[in-house]
Amino acid sequence: MASTTTEPKVAEPEQSTSNEQQKPEQKHLALGEDDEFEDFPIDDWPADQTEAAQRNGETKHLWEESWDDDDTSDDFSNQLKEELKKVEAAKRR
Amino acid sequence: MSLVAQFLSQIQQQVRNQQGDQLRSWLQVEPESPKQYHDLANELRARYSRQDAIDKVVEDALPQQDDLPEGQATAWPGLLAFLKDYLTYWRDVSFADLLGAHQLLSGLVNSCSTAFAHPTYGSMLLQVSMSLSETLARLTMNLNRRPDLTRRLRVVDDDNRKSVAESSAEIIQKIFTTCLTDRSGTRTSKPEGKRVGVYMFANLVLKLLFACRRTQLAKMIFVNIETISPPLSLYPAAQRVTFLYYLGRFNFSNQHYHRAALCLQEVYLQTPPQLVSHRSNILTYLIPSNLLLGKFPSTTLLSRPEAQSLKPIFLPMCMAIRSGNFVQFQSHLAAHEAWLFEKGLLLPLSNRLRPLLWRSLSRKTFLLTYVPPQDATSRKAATLDLSHLLTVATYIQRRLEGWLPGNPTTHGRPSQANPLFMQAIKNTVQSSAETTLAPPPGGPRKLRPNEGLIWGNALVTYEDIEMTVATLVQQGFMHGFVAHSQGRFAIIGAKAKGSPVLAGWPNVWLTIKERRHEDGFDLDQVPGWVTL
């Protein structure tokens, strides 16, 4: 705005003059994205600032594809074990 | 010279020189605009209360010229209509009346989009179209949170049942379409002219639709982009990432979890690590997408700053799935129900993770009950007795209904026990011979349909078990067959895999990845993500 040859006579939009007319509900206009995906502070950035550049490095270790649990000594397994034992015994009676 | 005349003469110069940036900074509409705009509004109210006065001052200030020097532009009818609406907007707007402001601004953005569509000069309005659309989107999102106001609108305008969000989205979508159908350059050449704005406007419409929970309306955007848009890679990083974020969420809400994960994984990797809150928002949907595909977040991922708020939600969920612990799973869902619902995650996670829990539970039951044959050369198939699975399922259903683990009758009578409680136990001595559980003191808890193992308080039957196993076999999560007459699940290929557990319960993610699809279906292709 300031660098233009045509000098703005009416308004200087980018000069943030404090505006006494602001009413409380006007604040609501600006608020309100909550946790929505916010706008980014910059429009572009080079790929080397991101993990996408090092696809074969650490990014491979972000997810576990084999997660089966073979442990049968935890509380839950023990409870099931006891239950199976008791129910089987009751069946035999 | 009046303020209005001065203002228009500035606009006229900017139009002549095609200064899009200048036009954007001059054509403000926000209540926070500098005082001059409010002075302008006062002058309009005082001296231009009649529409023909506004029409005349605009037409006088911006004459349409024929002979133009090289590089200069002239006003066109669409622009004049837009500027008339602009002055009318400032004359009539009252920011205390959100509905009225929305209506005026909708009209203004609409005429801006018509002016923008001019084939020769329209593109100088790209930036102003964007800033006006952003304000309209913001105002709409605010209104969407005020059902007290929008309800009134519906009563007034009974024939037109479109929501505020829908009508705003439609207006901005017109600008998007103008950008998309602009004929400058080829589809794969560097975007120029209006095509620069394709993803900018798409993203704004998407943001609006998602904020107002009108996700399904986003479909047309993706269909149009898939058909004619330039490749996403030609656009700046922020636009790419934002677009793929919404495409990922759209696929998530349409149960295309693989496509959702492809988009969101790319978004996550392309977003610089220091943008923690963005990455956290991405993981909010990427982690569930991958969970549903059988991929769990690793310790590496969960130790990152962006995962800190999500770890208490997803880590216990993963642990419950791994051990088939429906009790833990349901109580964890209940503890985070409000958050999960707010994010649109509650229903998919509470329903669609169940097959994985059943898979783990049947696997655990097999581990607990299977006795390998004495004779190593035995050719008998390893089996899971379905009645065992029924036993553990019944145990879990009772736990969900409030039965208590560890039968207290076996531990002697505690001196200070509630007499009612003890009476309740006495009344059910019969059942305590068949279970380790003590019945719930106040009677079984009433379960909602999604809180029970099968359906609310419905008893788990043998048929339920057989059907569940058959379904898991069908889905490929269990490998073998149901021997109906024997009441067993028989595992196929234990020898080849080296163990019946490995053969009977194949890896979830590999199973999903290797499912057969129709010819020509590419699992890794996401409609709407133009790569060319």
Q: Which two tokens stand for residue B182?
A: 């602009």
| Final residue in a domain of this structure, among B162, B178, B201 | B162
B427 inside domain: yes
Contacts of A1 in chain B (CB under 8 A): 22, 25
Is position B320 within any domain? no
Can you give the length of chain B in residues?
532
Which residues of chain B does A8 touch, with a Cβ-Cβ cutoff of 8 Å? Answer: 10, 26
Q: Which long-range contacts (CB under 8 A, 24 or more apart) does B66-72 make?
A: B71/B18, B72/B16, B72/B17, B72/B18
Residue B72 lies in a domain: yes
What are the DSSP calls for B271-322, one per residue?
S-TT-HHHHHHHHHHHHHHHHHTT-EEPHHHHTSGGGTTTHHHHHHHHHHHH
CA B179 to chain centre: 25
Q: What is the pLDDT of residue B140?
A: 93
End-to-end CA distance of chain A: 92
Structural domain includes residue B333:
no
Terminal alpha carbon distance of chain B: 56
Is any Cβ of chain A less than 8 angstroms from the Cβ of B437?
A: yes
CB A16 within 8 A of CB B260: no
Please choose, from the candidates B469, B256, B457, B476, the residue with its C-alpha nearest in 3D space to the C-alpha of residue B348: B256
Q: CB B237 to CB A31 under 8 A? A: no
The answer to whether B505 and B480 are in contact (CB under 8 A) is no
- CB contact under 8 Å between B437 and A83, yes or no, is yes
Mean pLDDT of chain B: 92
What are the φ/ψ torsions at residue B244 (nearest 5 degrees)?
-65, -30
- Are the beta carbons of B172 and B205 closer than 8 angstroms? yes
- Specify whether the CB–CB gap between B407 and B432 falls below 8 A: yes
| pLDDT for residue B406 | 73
Q: What percent of chain B has pLDDT over 90?
A: 81
Single-letter code of the amino acid located at B277:
S
| pLDDT for the residue B311 | 98
Which residue, among A76, A81, A88, would best test binding to B if mutated, counting the most B CBs under 10 Å from its CB?
A: A76
Specify the pLDDT at position B309. 96
Spatial separation of the C-alpha atoms in residues A89 and B507, rounded to whole Å: 34
Residue pLDDT, tens place only, B456-493: 999 999 999 999 999 999 999 999 999 999 999 999 99
B238 in contact with A, Cβ within 8 Å: yes
The count of C-alpha atoms lying within 13 angstroms of the C-alpha of B20, restricted to the half-sphere facing its C-beta, is: 14
Q: Rounded to whole angstroms, how far apart are CA atoms B317 and B315?
A: 5
> What is the pLDDT averaged over residues A70-74?
94
Q: Is B380 or B91 the better-scoring residue by pLDDT?
A: B91
Q: Residue A32 pLDDT > 60, yes or no?
A: no
Torsion of CA B21, B23, B28, B33, to 10 degrees: 70
Q: By the CB < 8 Å criterion, does B411 face chain A?
A: no
- Residues in A closer than 8 angstroms to B436, CB to CB, are 79, 82-83, 86
Contact B237 A72 (CB under 8 A): no
Mutate to test the interface with A, among B97, B293, B295 (most CBs of A within 10 A): B295
- Which of these three, B162, B183, B204, is where a domain ends? B162
pLDDT in tens, B391-418: 999 999 999 999 998 754 444 444 455 6
> Pick from B144, B162, B180: which residue ends a domain?
B162
pLDDT of residue B100: 93
Q: Which of B34, B270, B298 shows the shortest C-beta gap to A62?
A: B298
DSSP letter string over B203-258?
HHHHHHHHHTT-GGGGHHHHHHHHHHPPPGGGS-HHHHHHHHHHHHHHHHHTT-HH
CA distances from B18 to A7, B176, B194, B243 (A): 16, 21, 14, 29
**What does the alpha-carbon distance between residue B410 and residue B58 come to, in Å, rounded to a whole number?**
93
Confirm whether B453 is domain-assigned.
Answer: yes
Closest CA to B309 of B341, B273, B280: B280
The dihedral over CA atoms of B129, B130, B133, B134, expressed in degrees to the nearest 10, equals -150
Q: What is the pLDDT of residue B516?
A: 79
Backbone region of residue B18 per phi and psi (left: phi > 0; alpha: psi in -120 to 50; beta: other values): left
Query: ipTM, 2 decimals?
Result: 0.86
Which chain A residue lies closest to B7 (C-alpha atoms)?
A10
Cβ atoms within 10 Å of A89's Cβ, excluding its own: 11
Residue A54's pLDDT band, with cuts at 50, 70 and 90, is confident
B328 falls within a domain: no
Query: What is the tens place of the pLDDT at every residue in B62-97?
Result: 999 888 888 899 999 999 999 999 999 999 999 999
pLDDT in tens, B495-522: 999 999 999 999 999 999 998 777 788 8
What residues contact B146, with CB distance under 8 A and at least 6 apart?
B98
CB contact under 8 A, A83 and B272: no
CB B238 to CB A42 under 8 A? yes
Into how many domains does chain B fold? 2
Distance from CA of B323 to the nearest CA of A (A): 6
Q: Nearest CB to A63: which of B237, B278, B296?
A: B296
Interatomic CA distance for residues B403 and B386, integer angstroms: 23
Helix (H, G, I), strand (E, B) or coil at B500: helix
Residue of B339, B342, B265 lying closest to B309 (CA atoms): B339
Which chain B residues contact residue A15 at CB under 8 A?
Answer: 34
Domain hosting B59: range is 1-162
φ/ψ region of B350 (left if φ > 0, alpha if ψ in -120 to 50, else beta) reads alpha
B260, containing H or E segment: helix B257-270
Where are the alpha helices (H) located in B401-455, listed in sequence order? 419-427, 429-432
How many CB atoms are closer than 10 A to CB B156?
Answer: 9
Please name the residues in contact with B268: beta carbons below 8 A apart, sequence gap of 6 or more. A51, B279, B282, B283, B286
Question: Which pairs from B348-354 meet CB under 8 Å and 24+ separation?
Answer: B348/B252, B348/B255, B348/B288, B348/B292, B349/B288, B349/B291, B349/B292, B349/B317, B350/B450, B351/B450, B352/B255, B352/B292, B353/B291, B353/B292, B353/B317, B353/B321, B353/B329
A&B contacts, CB < 8 Å: 207
Residue B154: band (very low, low, confident or very high) from pLDDT cuts 50, 70, 90: low
Instruction: Indicate whether B335 belongs to any domain.
Output: no
The mean pLDDT value of chain A amounts to 71
Distance between CA atoms of residues B435 and B16, nearest Å: 87
Non-local (6+) Cβ contacts of B185 within 8 A are B191, B192, B193, B195
pLDDT for B427 equals 53
- The percent of residues in chain B predicted with pLDDT above 70, rounded, is 93
Considering only the C-alpha atoms of chain A, give the largest distance between any 2 of them, rounded to a whole number of Å: 101
Tell me which amino acid residue B147 is: P
B168 touches chain A (CB under 8 A): no
Of B45, B49, B118, B38, which is closest to residue B81 (Cα–Cα)? B118
Q: Is residue B293 part of a domain?
A: no
